[in-house]
Copies of this chain bind each other. A is one copy, B any other.
């Protein structure tokens, strides 16, 4: 993986010396390589169609969902220190390869992957930006662990006009880091460029203030959410809401501020999967200096263990001040 040598060097520069060689040299480069592969597959998938199957949650699967899942499964099988994996498409933790290789037993690093291979199914047909979400956990399972301690890295793949990825790492004993890479160079050259070595939210005030009100239909029957949305409009916030979790979060990370709200109300149940969506997104946000909290409890997304692969929740994330305002509006602070 010569191509990713700059990324490897960057990761090693933020980790304590000589720690986690597999994470920097193998696990993260493998995921970036998958993102590049998925980008290429999407680029030529002009016929977006139903695969005729459904995942275990009963969602219809698109051909491109299946494609992305396959690319990741095939690549991580070659990565000795990834012991276990589960995904939104196959939501059961199982060994990432059929027979354990000698290499794995020799490695002192053992990781579990939890991923959503292609998030944003509803906006793939109109050719809007979609993404991949990956959480990397210490040990042989991501379940029943405290996410803030055990989820040590997360990656977002972003498939738009360019192919980019946001990488966050937070291992015990080192400073959290979040950076952005751009994949692909001129004439189809397989390059990987560090676009921004530090992705971080800025401090207010801001000339433009952005808001992304997810699950807006819930406001029809929830007075607090309706009042909050009305507040943003009256205060002349600028609306940016694609309906794709990855692009909506990346918008805040790149602009340096913003607020994303996906509430849970009495009539509108929690939609986002904690393992495949919420915990990786929350780690990325925290590493960039943002907050990510649960709209029901008001607690940090990463404080509570994930009990099973299908567990769901809502999300409030973005600039810390804005998140606090939402919590107060919801009577949680």
Contacts and interface: CB of A to CB of B under 8 A. Distances in A.
A187 to B, nearest CB: 9
A214 to B, nearest CB: 8
Q: How many copies does the complex hold?
A: 2
B236 A220 contact: yes
Contact of A128 (B45, B124, B128, B185): B128
Interface in A226-267: 226, 229-230, 233-243, 247, 250-251, 253-255
Interface of A: 39, 42-47, 123-130, 158-164, 182, 184-186, 188, 193, 195, 213, 216-217, 219-220, 226, 229-230, 233-243, 247, 250-251, 253-255
A234 B218 CA distance: 9
Contact of A242 (B128, B195, B213, B219): B128
**Chain A contact residues, majority secondary structure:** mixed
Contacts of A160: 127-129, 159-161
A184 B45 CA distance: 9
Contact of A161 (B159, B230, B254): B159
B213 A254 contact: no
Contacts of A250: 126-127
B128 A43 contact: no
A161 B129 contact: yes
A42 B161 contact: yes
A302 B254 CA distance: 38
B47 A123 contact: no
Contacts of A229: 233
